[in-house]
Structure 1
């Protein structure tokens, strides 16, 4: 046993993360300790005076060092919760963000009474598979395809679908957006790379240094992925299909105009919890 208690080790870890400039150091210290010890926050507090084994202290120290280097918490822990489901996260995938739940909410609001119909869903740039999994969870008769350019991301998404019991309803494949797809879908969704190249250096170290660059920016003005996808949408969207994108700050009106030019209007917008227009949605 070390001489440290759980409470003292959490305090030391929080101090280390604070010195490294990590936002919310106490929260992250508790998450790291809880993960290493197999305790939730309530148990962590209740057992605060318990001593920590050398083995557990070493695990906490290694995770804390990773976080102090500004590796995202989702990568440090290896998982992230999204839509009340837990997803495996690696350096090959974007960290699922709460803002992206706005996209799921917007699609489900339009699906409405079709919730129980055998919808076909296409998720372009699926990453961890979180958007497709959330829609399949809420639409019990639906099936779908998730596509990603990264073979490593495809493997993670397929693993997540299997772990969530959705493997029989979701096919995860490697591909270049919808190229090669010869089927029409009732729902087409995407959270593509949209950060302008000029903004990349201003991102937090957790994002800029550790998340996959190709999932963050397409280069240039940040709109290239929307142009590519919208050129393919008429071929894969069934009549009346819902087509929805997550967009970056200041991009909603531009992407909405691009969608309307493709016959997907009128386009609606939905803001995230911060009041930022985060989703644009149209119908074929």
Structure 2
């Protein structure tokens, strides 16, 4: 009996697109490309130039299993085990939120402040609360060579992942991971305190997409009854860790700008600048203590 011919790169890509489209996945073509490239160790150029290239059975089988998982609701980047963020490749783990492009809005918002701080003092000390994969802190370290950062999280798995990402991207010497229940065990003062805190109201968690609801850690999503618990904690506690001329910046839900501003204002902060994401939705805000220029 003749052996079956090996699968080809082009056929696998076509099958992957079809399977994901049939499952109702919105970006089926893009996700198929990502999965095929990852599990066959090929590039988009190779798929175009050499579609008849044979693919080993083990790689084809691994791809089919990945497609099955994606059809079952596992996010594509959880399957790959990493995600690109601000030009960095970041490993994901069960304890980390999957960093998303909306959060790059927060990085862009605070970069001018970080650079002004360096121009004034020669350095910028950053505190990233709820660091997860280390995405925000490491993006800032990549853009500001004179900066150093402390990433805080309550999850040991997340802290280990953040440390690994810092080392993998070449920023390990400027990044320190710290276990703390929010600000409780933080010491020292920082020029910039940043956070993408949990901000989904508890009652809304079950309405999130399957990919988020079942695969992002709940504690990284649940912001309490009104979604504002962690903003209150920052507004009440951040000042004692803020250096002179320092600032606090947060990501917010698209409909939370007024509520978050009210929380900070009630604790003696003023809004300095806000930014919208690429979809035109309110996404990030930066505050300084009232009375500071």
TM-score interval, normalised by the smaller of the two chains: over 0.9
2:181 is aligned, of 172, 176, 184, to 176
Provide runs of 4+ in structure 1 moved above 4 Å.
none
TM-score (norm 1): 0.95
Contact 2:114–2:144 (8 Å) recurs in 1:
no
CA distance in 2, matches of 1:2, 1:90: 37
| Match of residue 40 from structure 1 | 43
Q: Give the one of 80, 84, 88 matched to 1:81.
A: 84
In the alignment, the residues of structure 1 paired with residue 250 and residue 57 of structure 2 have an alpha-carbon distance, to the nearest angstrom, of: 48
Matched, 1:10 2:10: no
What is the CA–CA distance in structure 1 between the aligned matches of 2:156 and 2:5, rounded to whole Å? 42
Pick the aligned partner of 2:69 from 59, 66, 70.
66
> How far does residue 262 in structure 1 lie from its aligned partner after superposition?
2.3
Q: Give how far 1:219 is off.
A: 2.9
Matches within 5 A, 1:1-284: 2-115=5-118, 117-284=122-289
Shift, 1:182, TM fit: 2.4
Distance 2:265 2:248 in 1: 11
Whole-angstrom distance in 2 between the partners of 1:6 and 1:97: 29
For structure 1, which segment, 215-224 or 151-160, has the greater mean C-alpha deviation from structure 2 after superposition? Answer: 215-224
Residue 154 of structure 1 and its aligned partner are, at CA, apart by 0.6
Question: In the TM superposition, what is the alpha-carbon distance from 1:2 to its structure 2 partner?
Answer: 4.3
Contact 2:187–2:241 under 8 Å retained in 1: yes
Q: Distance in 2 between matches of 1:199 and 1:37?
A: 39
Q: Residue deviations 1:30-52, cap 9 Å, x none?
A: 11110011122122222211122
Report the CA distance shift for 1:226/1:246 in structure 2 as closer, same or farther (over 3 A): same
Distance 2:187 2:8 in 1: 60
Superposed CA offset, 1:157-192 (max 9, x none): 010001111111110121111112221100000000
2-structure distance, mates of 1:21, 1:101? 28
Q: Which moved more, 1:157-166 or 1:63-72?
A: 63-72
SS of 1:209 mapped into structure 2: helix
Q: TM-score, normalised by structure 2?
A: 0.93
CA distance in 1, matches of 2:220, 2:165: 18
Contact 1:129 1:161 in 2 (8 A): yes
1-side partners of 2:271 and 2:221: how far apart? 28
**Shift of residue 65 of structure 1?**
1.3
Task: Give, in whole Å, the separation in 1 of the partners of 2:248 and 2:139.
Answer: 16
Give the whole-Å Cα distance in 2 for the aligned partners of 1:42 and 1:161: 30
Tell me the SS of whatever aligns to 1:32: helix
Tell me: CA distance 1:2–1:240, structure 2 relative to 1, closer, same or farther (3 Å): farther
Unaligned runs of 5+ in 2: none
CA distance in 1, matches of 2:210, 2:118: 40
In structure 2, what is the Cα distance between the partners aligned to 1:48 and 1:178?
54
Q: Which has the larger displacement, 158-167 or 34-43?
A: 34-43
State the secondary structure of the residue aligned to 1:265: strand
Q: Secondary structure at the match of 1:266?
A: strand
